[in-house]
Amino acid sequence: MSHAASINVSPDRAVHPTTADRKQTERPVPHWANVIAHLIPLLTLPSGLWRLGLAFGHSMGTLDDNGEPLAVHGWEVGYVIGLSIFAELVALTAFGLVRAWGEIVPRWIPLIGGRRVPPFAAIVPAVLGSVALISIWTYGFRDIFFSFGDLPLLFSGNGWAALMLTCYAPLNLWGPLLLVLTWAYYRRRVVLA
């Protein structure tokens, strides 16, 4: 390896992001922030897939109040599918904190395309979203956290309950990770600007 090539190679990518990262944003995005942005949509995927099982006619082991397999019908199917898609789309907005479209409005957007995104126009909604997600999932898991395993749903077996918990537990990381990602965006766009 030549001396010039060795200067460009860095063992710490968190400090020296790749060339592709530098082209995407005004300031380099730390490698760990890119990893978090990719992780957030993956955290929401298992719960969405679990809900889609319900929407497509499988009880996923849940029982109604009469002990019969739970089934969703009519508008509930649309709601469950819509909720799954909506949650995934919201999770994908985390990429705005590590991509150029989080700094410059894409040109295809009428009237404001090509304009600089004011940092706090992204920071404030991201912080509020983070706090909301932390509140929602802390409340949603309150019975499990504070009652040592009492579930709000009835299940036909422990395996089904474990599957649901496995699919939903990652959502507890969504808010905190989004808050960390927002801090990195704030640091890059406000503190270091």
* Per-residue pLDDT, 11: 43
Query: Which residue spans within the chain are E strands per DSSP?
Result: 62-63, 154-155
The pLDDT assigned to 146 comes to: 66
Q: What is the pLDDT of residue 149?
A: 58
Q: Which residues of the chain have pLDDT under 50?
A: 1-22
Per-residue confidence (pLDDT) for residue 10, from 0 to 100? 40
Read off the DSSP letter of residue 96.
Answer: G
Tokens of 11: 């063992």
pLDDT for 5 = 39
Give residue for tokens 């009652």.
147
Residue given tokens 């860095």 in the structure block: 10
pLDDT at 33: 97
d(CA 119, CA 36): 19
Strand locations in 48-162, DSSP E?
62-63, 154-155
Rg (CA), the chain: 21
Predicted local confidence at residue 16, as pLDDT: 45
